[in-house]
Amino acid sequence: MDTKEFKITIERILKTNYGKSIDKAKDYEKYNALSKAVMGTIIDNWDKTAEVYAKGKQAYYLSAEFLMGRALGNNLMNLGIYDEVKKVLEELKININDIEEIEEDVGLGNGGLGRLAACFMDSSAATNIPLTGYGIRYSHGLFKQSFKEGFQIEQADNWLKYGDPWSIRCEDDAVIVEFGDEKVKAIPYDTPIIGYGTNNINKLRLFKAEPLQDFDFELFNSQEYTEAVKEKNKAEDISRVLYPNDSTVEGKMLRLKQQYFFVSAALKDLVRSFKKQHGNSFELFKDYHAIQLNDTHPVVAIPELMRILIDEEKLSYDKAWEITVATFSYTNHTILREALEEWDIELYKKIIPSVYKIVKEIDKRFIRILGQKKYSYEKINSMKIIYKGRIRMAWLAIHGTHATNGVAELHTDILKNQELKDWYELYPDRFLNKTNGITPRRWLAFCNKELSAFITELLGSDNWITDLSALKGLEKYIDDKVVLNKFLEIKQLKKEQLAVYINKNEKIEIDPNSLFDIQIKRLHEYKRQLLNAFGILDLYFRLKENPQIDIVPRTFIFGAKAAPGYLRAKGIIKFVNEIANLINNDAEINNKIKVVFVQNYRVSYGEKLFPAADISEQISTAGKEASGTGNMKFMLNGTPTIGTYDGANVEIVQEAGEENNFIFGARVEEIEKIKDTYSPKEYYETVTGLKRVVDTLIDGTFDDGDTGMFEELYNSLLEGASWHSPDNYFIFRDFADYRDAQNKVDKAYKDRLNWAKKCLMNIANAGKFSSDRTILEYAKEIWKVEAKQA
């Protein structure tokens, strides 16, 4: 890197873009100038990578979410120029940390689904796998979260307010997407995905919706100002917000438009480029394209490719179906039947009528196949793609692809043996497992530089950054007191850094010498933040009764967003904040426990929380969490898990040892046995302390602002609701076990060296959970795509 030229480039960009010298530029202007200067250094490699990839088969990842987080620091690290750039900035009297902090998170995702997509993009570039991501360039992300009197407040997440120096608008590659009553332009924006330790640069292509005519001059001249821009607003609504509220018909229509918009644009993009190279030889399409459907959101791609091949390219139905099934594969991310997406056929008929005709034909032919196999009337009904006026997207996904994968061993087993048993019996060769992973670049090398440097020192090499299995070499230090104490020093440093950050952002002081107990993830009932809250409240009441209880001071940290329309999840947030208000203002507790719910949890906040955690809360109801990736991030940063035998927790304890984690609660087999006869009231009446904490929802201990949220929560646990049974997620069943496990955590934490051993064993055995391993398995076993070096 020519640092002198790089410095000149930054100064030139500031002058040409903002008319400012460095000393007068604002931080966001410096950020943009620096980012654009970096972009200038990678364009040649990006172009070369595209040329190399175009010669063979490529994979494409279709996802409604890409939760990328910040780009600058991670990109500098992957390019191997972080320290050089830091030095250049110092010469310009710029603090690199200030520049990194000004960057907005690219928060185009809701949780694990979108973050997994981001990790896969990083890993594909690092392993030289030709993978392109396709999605939507939302103008606004999910939402920015704040709290007012303990209630979640949602505000627009304008991640583009300072511009986007990391993407290029590709006007020439625009395509037209047609709905039943509207046509819009899909404008691609390309973002480089920079590979670590390689010249390869992959691509994330996100589409923005724009009108064919953005302004009607005649209408405006007739003083019909609103009508003059009506089509513009209507088109731009499609890519305006991630997951718009769909509690109304209009909201559902917009969601469906979003899904069809990006998959239609992606497929038209692929078909166009294919025809440039291969003409109309569509029998070769599957030999050059492998398309992964990330959950059910992009499954409309199956009938859309059929429509393109049949209606536009004039292939026969049978030939189009053969190509479609061979091209697509599907990842299932949920065991929750209620989360398996379905669409009302009337919406399909209205929004995408030509696609609905294809779905209807697919279903008709599928029913014929089942009939030929002598399936019963009842069995056929249970497997129909269209049933009672609804399109079952998961069923369409399994039937219309050549591979369906779960994302953890337990998850895949449950799919095959329970939830999708009929489908597994029909298509046994299509089902396989691909345990999720995380990128070690962002989630250790970048976010925990101190620990990363120490690991490199111990192993004598930094090759673990691209081969995470190398961490196994740390086991030889398991009894080395110097190493264990050094680890504890680094953990303490990360806790101190987090305490400063929380004090700055939340205006709450926390004690870095306390045990940091952290649960950060999407707010959903099955993830059981409520169990955590009950556990904290129980500990508080016990301390009030007996202040002499000998416990390690503990700081409980939550981070989660509740979907705007998910009222019960919002009630849980309010409940946790009420608990925090009670405990944090009780001087008698003498700071033995403290509760913090951080606001606007996101990737960049996670980069500070994961390295600082002492214990990782992974307490979902067994059999409900498909995988989880937060558990892997904690593990990689040396944090034992307190959790159920669920999702990837199962494989974590298999790798690191149950003795180095804290497993509790009913397992899948027990829940299957008791679910039909489960009586939460028995636990409520007999488990010590349980009734006391549950009753705080209705006895006036806490105030829900007369919303009825807490009473509704209480009733859902003891009486159930129209759509589920009482205590649907077995919180009462696991409450006592959870308390016992937390007591074990407290006892184990007091033995500092032995605790450090548990932490080091978790790091040493985190190798399996690299997304590099996952992406290479996809490439070899599903996509049949080979690595190519640019």
Kindly name the residue from 434, 521, 594, 608 that is annotated as catalytic. Answer: 521
Distance CA 790, CA 321 (A): 34
Q: What is the pLDDT of residues 302-344, one digit of tens each?
A: 999 999 999 999 999 999 999 999 999 999 998 877 678 999 9
Catalytic-residue membership of 486: no
- Segment 185-196 shows an average pLDDT of 98
The CA distance from 191 to 168, in Å, is 7
Single pTM value for the model: 0.97
Does the structure show a pLDDT above 80 at 126? yes
Per-residue model confidence as pLDDT tens digits over 421-453:
999 999 999 999 999 999 999 999 999 999 999
DSSP H or E run through 431: strand 431-433
One DSSP character per residue, 434-445 reads ----B-HIIIII
Domains, in order of start, for the chain: 3-436+776-783 (3.40.50.2000), 447-769 (3.40.50.2000)
**Which of 85, 123, 239, 241 is CA-nearest to residue 177?**
239
Q: What is the pLDDT of residue 231?
A: 87
Name residue 192's beta-bridge partners. 203
| Helix, strand, coil shares, percent, the chain, to 5 | 55, 15, 30
Catalytic residue among 629, 644, 696, 774: 629
| Amino acid at the residue 421 | K
The mean predicted confidence, pLDDT, of the chain is 96
Q: Is 521 a catalytic residue?
A: yes
Give pLDDT, residue 483: 98
Kindly tell me if the per-residue pLDDT of 226 is higher than 80.
Answer: no
- Which pLDDT does position 452 carry in this prediction? 98
Instruction: State residue 246's pLDDT score.
Output: 85
Active site residue 629: yes
Q: What are 715's two structure tokens? A: 């009733």
Could you confirm whether 554 is annotated as catalytic? no
Q: What is the pLDDT of residues 582-630, one digit of tens each?
A: 999 999 998 899 999 999 999 999 999 999 999 999 999 999 999 999 9
SS3 label, residue 615: strand
Catalytic residue among 333, 384, 528, 608: 333
Please report how many Cα atoms fall inside a 13 Å half-sphere around the Cα of residue 314, on the Cβ side: 2
Q: What is the pLDDT of residue 222?
A: 85
- CA atoms within a 13 Å half-sphere pointing along the CA-CB vector of 138: 28
| pLDDT for residue 271 | 98
Of the pLDDT bands very low, low, confident and very high (cuts 50, 70, 90), residue 223 is confident
Separation between Cα atoms, residue 271 and residue 262, nearest integer Å: 14
| Residue 101: CA count within 13 A, CB half-sphere | 10
Confidence of residue 723 (pLDDT cuts 50, 70, 90): confident
Q: What is the pLDDT of residue 425?
A: 97
The residue length of the chain stands at: 790
Q: Which of 522, 554, 570, 773 is catalytic?
A: 522
For residue 88, give the 3-state DSSP assignment.
helix
The whole-number pLDDT of residue 213 equals: 85
Check 384, 527, 528, 608 and give the catalytic one.
527
Whether residue 228 has pLDDT greater than 80? no
Over pLDDT 90: what percentage of the chain? Answer: 94
Could you report the per-residue pLDDT of 337-379, keeping only the tens digit for each? 767 899 999 999 999 999 999 999 999 999 999 999 999 999 9
Distance CA 386, CA 358 (A): 12
CB atoms within 10 A of CB 100: 18
**pLDDT the model gives residue 151:** 98
Pairing of strands 66-69, 106-108: antiparallel
pLDDT of 403 reads 98
pLDDT at 707: 97
Average pLDDT over residues 462-478: 98
> How does pLDDT run across 247-283, given as a tens digit for each residue?
899 999 999 999 999 999 999 999 999 999 999 999 9
Residue type, 235: A
Q: What is the pLDDT of residue 247?
A: 82
pLDDT at 306: 98
- Which residue is catalytic, options 205, 240, 491, 633? 633
Question: In the annotation, is 688 catalytic?
Answer: no
Residue 340 has a pLDDT of 86
Q: What Rg, from alpha-carbon coordinates, does the chain have?
A: 27
Helix, strand, or coil (residue 716): helix
Taking CA 50 as the corner, what is the angle to CA 122 and CA 105, rounded to the nearest 5 degrees? 35
Catalytic residue check, 633? yes
Are the C-beta atoms of 397 and 302 separated by less than 8 Å?
yes
| Measured distance CA(375)–CA(392) in Å, rounded | 19
CA distance linking residue 428 with residue 416, whole number of Å: 9
Query: Which of the pair, 71 or 228, is modelled with greater confidence?
Result: 71
Which helix (H) or strand (E) covers residue 381, if one does? Answer: helix 377-383
Backbone angles phi and psi of 239, in degrees to 5: -115, 25
- The number of angstroms, rounded, from the C-alpha of 770 to the middle of its chain's C-alpha atoms is 15
Written as six digits, the tokens of 495 are 């806790």
pLDDT digits (tens, 9 = 90+) for 158-190: 999 999 999 999 999 999 999 998 999 999 999
Q: Examine the pLDDT at 127 and tell me if it is beyond 80.
A: yes
**C-alpha distances in Å from residue 305, one per residue of 271, 364, 374, 454, 620:** 9, 18, 30, 50, 37
Q: Which neighbouring-strand residues pair with 62? A: 134, 293
- CB count in 10 Å sphere of residue 107: 27
Least confident of 226-230, 314-318, 465-469, 623-627: 226-230
For residue 301, give every residue at least 6 positions away whose Cβ sits within 8 Å of its Cβ, in sequence order, or none. 62, 263, 266, 267, 291, 293, 328
pLDDT of 567: 95
SS (H, E, C) 232-275: HHHHHHHHCECCCCCCCHHHHHHHHHHHHHHHHHHHHHHHHHHH
